Amino acid sequence: MRAVLQRVTSASVSVDGAVVGAVDRPGLVALVGVTHGDGPDQVEAMARKISELRILRDERSVLDEGAPVLVVSQFTLYADTRKGRRPSWNNAAPGAVAEPLVDAVVGALRARGVEVATGRFGAMMEVTLVNDGPVTLVVDV
């Protein structure tokens, strides 16, 4: 499982022109991708990283601050661009595998007391954010 975490002052995700998820105060955007072989262990490890990494201002975590997280599924995080000009998506888990695992990350974050907003799995989404810092990390678990 892989995530790109971006510290933000605000963010939203829209589908067909309608906002489906947003954070309106400082927090994180988590773009989450799933690969073959990911399961419950990766879900728990990712939820722990997202909620406990001290990447907010003053070296605080999402849990320390009570900060919100916008989780957006992102299969393109597993693109293989080593050959040619067309990325290969073979390393990304298919939707039937990935969707329940992304949902499980959301559930695990909520179980930790994190306020979570989401995009819509498989939809063409427009993500708008104000990156704070900028702080952007790639997390692999």
Active site residues: 74-76
Structure-block tokens of residue 114:
């994190």
Compute CA distances 92 → 8, 19, 34, 63, whole Å. Answer: 26, 26, 6, 29
Q: Which residue has the tokens 């799995």?
A: 121
What does the alpha-carbon distance between residue 138 and residue 126 come to, in Å, rounded to a whole number? 20
Question: What does the alpha-carbon distance between residue 126 and residue 129 come to, in Å, rounded to a whole number?
Answer: 10
Tally of CB atoms within 10 A around 118: 19
- CA within 13 Å, CB half, 124: 2
Residue 50 tokens read as 């997202």
